[in-house]
Amino acid sequence: MKRLLPALALAAVLAAPASAKELVSLSVCGTNGCHGTRDRSELRTAMQVQPQAAPDHGGAYYRLRSGIGEPGMHDPFVQRSQWIPSLHLIRNDEGPLVEFGLPHPQTQRVLERLSAGLKPFPAAKLGPIGGTSQTARVDEVVAPPSAGSDDDDGGGTGWAWSLLVIAPAGLAFWLLRRRRGAAPGVIGT
């Protein structure tokens, strides 16, 4: 246990910088321009959403750019998403999945303030609302092994698999007992 504590302390120190990442900027863009903020108090409550199922249709939308990084960072990671006010949803489609979220009230207020005076993009430019799941393709289907067949090589019998668990457990027990100074074969001290 004493050897484990320094390793855990080192892991905590190494993980600390990763937790410093936060929302450092937010921009809402329409067809006639963009409005943004870097106000830390406003950003602290922004972009909090509750996951939602994909809607069956789209709507007029604004483009969102969320800068994620450390405060004072010159080149934050930018995540792009769309805000569809008529559906009260934010759509994030970076990466392989399309995700939808219902903004918390504080987030909704920030988005409404930043979109004031902007004209939304038309719903027709939003593209498929459910993403691009039609691009997924199955290359091979492998059937499960048939049960009860005598001549198949179904992965071995149960006792053979149990040896894979019992042997390492026995070795670990033996090493533990030896380390504590107990005589081999003596149980309970």
- Banded pLDDT at 165 (limits 50, 70, 90): confident
pLDDT digits (tens, 9 = 90+) for 40-60: 888 887 778 888 888 888 899
Coil, helix or strand for 156? coil
CA trace torsion 156, 159, 164, 168 (10° rounding): -170
Query: What's the predicted TM-score (pTM) here?
Result: 0.57
- Give the model's confidence band at 155: pLDDT under 50 very low, under 70 low, under 90 confident, else very high: low
Predicted confidence (pLDDT) per residue in 83-104, tens digit: 999 999 988 877 667 788 888 8
Predicted confidence at residue 16, as pLDDT, reads 41
Domains in the chain, please, with CATH? 21-126 (2.60.40)
